[in-house]
Structure 1
Amino acid sequence: MSPADFRRYALFYLGYYGALGAYTPYIGRWVVANGHGGYAVGAMLALWYGGRIVAPPTWARFSARSVRPGHWLVAGCSLAMLGFVAFAGFDTGVMLFVTMAWFGVFFNAVMPQFEAMTLSALGPRNHYYGRIRMWGSVGFLVVAGSYGWLLDRLGNDVFVWLTLPWLLLTVVAAWLHRGDRPTALPTAGTPREVLWRRPGARRLLLVALLVQLGFGPFYVFFTLHLQAQGHDGFAVGVLWAIGVLCEIVMFWQAPRLVQRFGAQRLMSACIVATVLRWTLVALLGGSFAWMALAQTGHALSFAAFHAGCMRRMAELFPQRRDMAAAQGLLYGFSGGIGGVAGAGLAAVAWQYGGGRLAFLCGAVVGLVALTAHLLPVRVLRPQPAA
């Protein structure tokens, strides 16, 4: 990959995750500021993650058949931006959730396609994926670390307008890929049911789903949990920034770790760190120092785990023709089913026991994920009929 191509791919991650850096930490704050409760926040995030169930595999199918897949990327980013603009007019009532569904479908549709494009462009040098993906973390860091302070001073009403420039950058970055050619013949892809049966695929999808489910309280209520514990907007932003800064460092080091330890052992360590992290957040949320320590765990629980998943995807699906469909499966299971279930679990736990119960539930789910990851393969493999 040439330096110019590296910049093209890095720019898309920068814009996409910059927008996500506004959305993920602060959408709950914006919804609550408009008079809604915990269930509404959970429903909003469930719709967001629900888009990951339907959109990625459908989008991957259409884009894989196109001779100009870059045009699909531009279209998806443009439609996502238009959907987000609608939040400026629909901040209450049914249309709030309709707008959320629109935005969630198109914004979530494009990333699996782009991940497949990135891995295909890297080819056998896929262990360098983390150094491109790191620029997404830079965008997330800049936004998540500053928007809490900005919203404290400018008011929650500016949330939509502060997010739109990052969505526009995503459209511009997608435009740079408009002429990208397909990585394989459109008719040469392997059916998804065949990919599903590939040895090791079901385990990876299950573990990714459970880890994402355990992240539900973090993505839905972390900001609100910190505010309930007495932290102001500046402190919340700093804590988000600590997590993402550690994530950036880890993405830069991930190629060495994956090469040295292998994806399986690295993912085991990441899940253990995740369980410890949610336990700290649940029990010591009022302490800035302990929360800062917990946020350093983002390096393992998110960045290294994600890099490990990408390596396992490259190992399980080495054919470029399979990568887009396989990425769609991963996003559908982890970010889709796991995200919806995680948002629902978090909303119910929040209503009954606040952040303490929600994050303890996340820790328990992490233990289940670790068990699934460490089970012998034969336990997870369907047994032949007698």
Structure 2
Amino acid sequence: MPRSLWRFAAFYFWYYAALGAYTPYVGRWVDALGHGGFVIGAMLGLWYGTRVLAPPTWAALTGRSARPGEWFVAGCVATTLCFAGFLFTREAWALLGVMAVFGLFYNAVMPQFEAMTLTALGPSPEQYGRLRVWGSVGFLLVASSYGALMDYVGAEAFPWLTLPLFVAMIISAWPHRHDRPPELPGPAVADAGHLFKRPGVRRFLLVAMLMQLGFGPFYVFYTLHLQAAGHSGAAIGALWAIGVTIEIAMFWQAPRLIARFGAARLLGVCLGVSVLRWALVSGFADLFWVMALAQTTHALSFATFHACCMRLITEYFPGRRAVAGQSLLYGFSSGVGGVLGAGLAALMWERGGGGVGAFAAGAVVAAIAWLVFALRQRDVTVGTT
């Protein structure tokens, strides 16, 4: 990889290293503060809600600026300052308020950075995977080690342990202060609305949303569910590491699998495997070897599923319409699906039997997604009008 691109790899590393602390362990911290499942679910629900609002708002601001790279650095600084607010908050209303502003900035900067990365790659977009993989490495190193670290120093230290990662993110953002995103002629909003009505599109987006909804218990309560089943922080970190490691490996192999079997066929397999995964996590959380086996299915239920969605979205939304397609997918899946998934997870955690009920609900949702996908006979021809 050219030396000039290492600064991009560095930012991916630290951005996702911070995410590797936040996603697996923020629920454990909020639980240690004495709050219940509804507060934890609301925290993650706000996280996903800001993923819908933040990117287009930030894009509108930076698009009018003659120095978008400086906006990017400013966004990273604002992210860190907002996260520092967690150092001084304990009450539920304060936690949710800090979460809302923190999520707005944290979820805003990455889409801008992705655009700057593609601009820097120019005619060599195939190099993207070699840069993005450093983000997964950062997530892996932190997620696998912070469980044991929090066992040692206490879960209440989570904000102090995580803040240095955001400071490192600012430092890695500084070399990009003069970078610019591409000036692309984006499609009109009407394109997205028109293409939304094409055969197969709505069903595909519904499946993607249901899959994300089924992941809700995993993102919100997986660490707490394993902790309640008697696993140590080190063991929980190891299980997170298994999932991310297999994710990295599968992202490299997914293009070959899609070329051989087709994205639609693989998507159905991923949905079926997800049903099995959440059923295992629901019923056998006390068995480490079963949880390790379940985590290996992350290769299909997350990595391959995501790769298949990317392939199908380019078929449903070809050419310059891809931006509209990505917007719809991001909004339905990460946005609506994420918020509903966090809400379902919190409800089942509090009223449906804790982790057992929450992950059983995840399995049911994944099964519904598979059924919706299987009943797509009229939608098999992609791109028809």
TM-score (norm 1): 0.88
Deviation at 1:121, TM superposition (A): 5.5
Are the structure 2 counterparts of residues 127 and 376 from structure 1 closer, same or farther at C-alpha, using a change threshold of 3 Å? Answer: farther
CA contact (8 A) 1:130 1:254 kept: no
Deviation at 1:21, TM superposition (A): 0.8
Deviation at 1:377, TM superposition (A): 7.0
CA distance in 1, matches of 2:206, 2:119: 24
The corresponding residue for 1:152 is 151
The corresponding residue for 2:24 is 25
The corresponding residue for 2:286 is 286
Deviation at 1:375, TM superposition (A): 3.8
Are the structure 2 counterparts of residues 272 and 64 from structure 1 closer, same or farther at C-alpha, using a change threshold of 3 Å? Answer: farther
CA distance in 2, matches of 1:156, 1:16: 22
Deviation at 1:183, TM superposition (A): 1.6
CA distance in 2, matches of 1:311, 1:74: 32
Aligned pairs for 1:177-256 within 5 A: 177-185=176-184, 188-198=185-195, 199=198, 201-256=201-256
Q: Deviations over 1:228-269 (max 9, x none)?
A: 111111111111111111111112223333343343333332
Comparing 124-133 and 222-231, the one that deviates more: 124-133
The corresponding residue for 2:366 is 366
CA contact (8 A) 1:211 1:369 kept: yes
Query: In structure 2, what residue type is equivalent to 1:290?
Result: V
Deviation at 1:123, TM superposition (A): 6.8
The corresponding residue for 2:90 is 91
CA distance in 2, matches of 1:62, 1:149: 41
Deviation at 1:79, TM superposition (A): 1.4
Secondary structure of 2:176's aligned partner: coil
Query: In structure 2, what residue type is equivalent to 1:271?
Result: L
Comparing 253-262 and 354-363, the one that deviates more: 253-262
Comparing 222-231 and 363-372, the one that deviates more: 363-372
Aligned pairs for 1:119-130 within 5 A: 129-130=128-129
Comparing 170-179 and 21-30, the one that deviates more: 170-179
Are the structure 2 counterparts of residues 197 and 111 from structure 1 closer, same or farther at C-alpha, using a change threshold of 3 Å? Answer: farther
Aligned pairs for 1:234-313 within 5 A: 234-313=234-313
CA contact (8 A) 2:242 2:296 kept: yes
CA contact (8 A) 1:80 1:107 kept: yes
Query: In structure 1, what residue type is equivalent to 2:256?
Result: R
| 1:337 paired to 2:360 | no
| 1:100 paired to 2:85 | no
Are the structure 2 counterparts of residues 304 and 65 from structure 1 closer, same or farther at C-alpha, using a change threshold of 3 Å? Answer: farther
Deviation at 1:25, TM superposition (A): 0.8
CA contact (8 A) 2:115 2:182 kept: no
Query: In structure 2, what residue type is equivalent to 1:359?
Result: F
Q: Deviations over 1:7-52 (max 9, x none)?
A: 3332222112111110111111100111111111111111111111
Q: How many residues align?
A: 377
CA contact (8 A) 2:214 2:341 kept: yes
Query: In structure 2, what residue type is equivalent to 1:333?
Result: F
Deviation at 1:308, TM superposition (A): 2.6
CA contact (8 A) 2:51 2:335 kept: yes
CA distance in 1, matches of 2:258, 2:166: 32
Comparing 344-353 and 158-167, the one that deviates more: 158-167
Unaligned runs of 5+ in 2: none
Comparing 105-114 and 78-87, the one that deviates more: 105-114
Query: In structure 2, what residue type is equivalent to 1:219?
Result: Y
Comparing 259-268 and 156-165, the one that deviates more: 259-268
Comparing 104-113 and 240-249, the one that deviates more: 104-113
Deviation at 1:87, TM superposition (A): 0.2
Q: Deviations over 1:63-85 (max 9, x none)?
A: 34545443333232221111101
Are the structure 2 counterparts of residues 214 and 117 from structure 1 closer, same or farther at C-alpha, using a change threshold of 3 Å? Answer: farther
Query: In structure 2, what residue type is equivalent to 1:171?
Result: I
Deviation at 1:226, TM superposition (A): 0.5
CA distance in 2, matches of 1:123, 1:335: 28
Comparing 84-93 and 325-334, the one that deviates more: 325-334
Are the structure 2 counterparts of residues 201 and 103 from structure 1 closer, same or farther at C-alpha, using a change threshold of 3 Å? Answer: farther
CA distance in 1, matches of 2:249, 2:288: 22
Are the structure 2 counterparts of residues 277 and 194 from structure 1 closer, same or farther at C-alpha, using a change threshold of 3 Å? Answer: same
Comparing 214-223 and 89-98, the one that deviates more: 89-98
Query: In structure 2, what residue type is equivalent to 1:12?
Result: F
Q: Deviations over 1:267-311 (max 9, x none)?
A: 332222222111110111110000000011112212222223333
CA distance in 2, matches of 1:115, 1:267: 25
CA distance in 2, matches of 1:256, 1:68: 40
The corresponding residue for 1:384 is none
Are the structure 2 counterparts of residues 132 and 30 from structure 1 closer, same or farther at C-alpha, using a change threshold of 3 Å? Answer: same
CA contact (8 A) 1:13 1:135 kept: yes
Comparing 52-61 and 92-101, the one that deviates more: 52-61
Deviation at 1:364, TM superposition (A): 1.4
CA contact (8 A) 1:57 1:332 kept: no
Q: Deviations over 1:318-372 (max 9, x none)?
A: 546x555554443322221111100000011111211111111111111222233
Query: In structure 2, what residue type is equivalent to 1:247?
Result: E
What is the aligned-residue RMSD (CA, Å)? 2.6
